[in-house]
Amino acid sequence: MSKGVISKDEDYSQWFNGLVVKADLAEHSAVKGCMVIKPYGYSIWEKMQAALDQMFKDTGHSNAYFPLFIPKSFFSKEASHVDGFAKECAVVTHYRLKNDGNGNIIVDEDAKLEEELIVRPTSETIIWNTYRGWIQSYRDLPLLINQWANVVRWEMRTRLFLRTTEFLWQEGHTAHATAEEAIAETEQMLNVYADFAENWLALPVVKGRKTANERFAGALDTYCIEALMQDGKALQAGTSHFLGQNFAKAFDVKFANKEGKLDYVWATSWGVSTRLMGALVMAHSDDAGLVLPPKLAPTQVVIVPIFRSEEELAQISEFVATLTKELKAKNIRVKYDNRDTQRPGFKFAEYELKGIPLRVAIGGRDLANGTVELARRDTKTKETVQQAGLAEMIDGLLVEIQANIYQKALNFRTENTREANTYDEFKKMLDETPGFISAHWDGTPETEERIKQETKATIRCIPLDNKLEDGTCILSGKPSTQRVLFARAY
């Protein structure tokens, strides 16, 4: 294993943690549960942000920024919301430190806040309190706003990217005149997320609805995209909530319709987070390191010279200068690593670890033959190709690699999505062939909860494209009209 990365078949969890650190994506910080996103990891996150942000703007949304702090009383205004978040809140109680006279810095008890402030775990409450001032009439609707922000949910057991006390995300918060429009927005944003997951992350996702148990605290309906990781566990990659009039009622946000009649506003919220970084790593990487889809790779092509003399390096560099120019003209992100302090083998391992989609190696013999060696990260194949037409070939290969990474993940998911018709079969699959399990469920929270307690599997979603099909619940044997998707999940 290069650089001490553990094999994923040996210990998937340790493999993931090790890879995230070794590939310079992120690391644990000195603050419990909080991570540091390192420059390489952040540069991938920036590409995700840019793509998503453009998709949000293309669908009519604007960005804005709301306060980090939420007064405790706001939290209590929507009953199920406070139940959902109160147990994991960072609470600010004071606004000053002081010297205790013995050289120690202590909290100044004279600077106690009258009302505690909660560090936002999500912003529905502060935003809907603000919307009250922004919405008077149907002319102010729809209000389509997104925020890029950090949020805090106190976590006892954390994992880099997947579950951290602080994480980065975007949260969309929209307001509409009718339930229909709000539902259409909820569905539109789910589709945006699915589009992003499939076309950028190269991650096939199942679009579906959460059961009542798994809904967002305060939502009438939660839509989600669910992806399958290489260990057969599911990962929720994004959610889009239809909030009904719950927050409008809690914060008294009414609008006058065209007839002048007052009604409460209809709401949605939707978000994805740095968790997607975890999904990216878990879905595609291997024991040699990351496998990045070209669209998100900070460097798409790395060129490594193999030389025995300064003169040979100079000749290679001349060729590379032309190639680099051609690649950049095609908006391809290319890096030339001509360091003479590291051997080619070291560089090859490093770029495999970092997941660079394509590697071009060129040595003296290549110069003589008019060739280069091209190595693909996704298939780990190498071939010697002509220098003529290389830029066009690379351009095409990057598209092919993006498609191949997606197809590989899709094949994996197809192979690991199974139907279970009895509870025994279901439990056996969970242990022996983990993946998505499509099974009949009687629709009750009690059955769902018992399955969760007994097997640690949860209902990931009720797929949107579900066929109706008569059957019997795997646990209760009661009648059911459709299968739902179960899995153990992150």
Determine how many CB atoms are found less than 10 A away from the CB of residue 324.
18
User: Of residues 19, 20, 162, 168, which one binds a second copy by CB under 8 A?
Assistant: 168
Nearer to a second copy, 130 or 416 (CB): 130
388 is a contact residue toward a second copy (CB under 8 A): no
Residue 455's φ and ψ, nearest 5 degrees, are -125, -10
Q: How many CA atoms lie within 13 A of 93 on its CB side?
A: 7
Considering only residues 99-118, where is the footprint of a second copy by CB under 8 A? 99, 104-105, 107, 116-118
> Among 408, 377, 374, 378, which residue's Cα sits nearest to residue 394?
374
31 is a contact residue toward a second copy (CB under 8 A): yes
What Å distances lie between residue 186 and 175, 201, 264, 287, 344, CA to CA?
Answer: 11, 21, 18, 38, 50
Alpha-helix residue ranges (DSSP H) falling in 336-488? 344-354, 364-369, 390-415, 423-432, 445-455
Stretch of 93-101, 265-273, 366-374, 419-427 contacting a second copy, by CB under 8 A: 93-101
What Å distances lie between residue 164 and 8, 87, 159, 171, 334, CA to CA?
Answer: 22, 15, 6, 17, 33
280 is a contact residue toward a second copy (CB under 8 A): no
User: Of residues 74, 216, 426, 490, which one binds a second copy by CB under 8 A?
Assistant: 74
Q: How many CA atoms lie within 13 A of 166 on its CB side?
A: 14
Helix 445-455 × helix 423-432 angle, to 10°: 40
Nearer to a second copy, 106 or 314 (CB): 106
User: Of residues 1, 2, 12, 29, which one binds a second copy by CB under 8 A?
Assistant: 29
Stretch of 84-92, 303-311, 439-447, 472-480 contacting a second copy, by CB under 8 A: 84-92
CB of 115 to a second copy, least distance (A): 10
User: Of residues 10, 64, 338, 450, which one binds a second copy by CB under 8 A?
Assistant: 64
346 is a contact residue toward a second copy (CB under 8 A): no
Nearer to a second copy, 129 or 186 (CB): 129
72 is a contact residue toward a second copy (CB under 8 A): yes
CB of 110 to a second copy, least distance (A): 12
Nearer to a second copy, 24 or 181 (CB): 24
Stretch of 32-40, 192-200, 367-375, 442-450 contacting a second copy, by CB under 8 A: 32-40
From CA 407, how far away is CA 183, in angstroms rounded? 31
Nearer to a second copy, 338 or 433 (CB): 338
Question: Applying CB under 8 A, what is the total number of residues that bind a second copy?
Answer: 61
> Among 420, 287, 385, which residue's Cα sits nearest to residue 11?
287
Note whether 126 and 173 are within 8 A (CB).
no
> Among 393, 379, 290, 405, which residue's Cα sits nearest to residue 332?
393
Nearer to a second copy, 34 or 489 (CB): 34
38 is a contact residue toward a second copy (CB under 8 A): yes
Nearer to a second copy, 98 or 478 (CB): 98
Four-residue CA torsion sign, 412, 417, 423, 425: negative
CB of 50 to a second copy, least distance (A): 10
65 is a contact residue toward a second copy (CB under 8 A): yes
4 is a contact residue toward a second copy (CB under 8 A): no
353 is a contact residue toward a second copy (CB under 8 A): no
245 is a contact residue toward a second copy (CB under 8 A): no
From CA 183, how far away is CA 174, in angstroms rounded? 11
Note whether 258 and 138 are within 8 A (CB).
yes
46 is a contact residue toward a second copy (CB under 8 A): yes
What Å distances lie between residue 57 and 62, 146, 420, CA to CA?
Answer: 6, 9, 42
> Among 451, 461, 457, which residue's Cα sits nearest to residue 487?
457
Note the residues at the interface with a second copy (CB under 8 A). 27, 29-31, 34-39, 42-43, 45-46, 62-72, 74-76, 82, 86-99, 104-105, 107, 116-119, 126, 129-130, 133, 145, 149-150, 152, 154, 166, 168
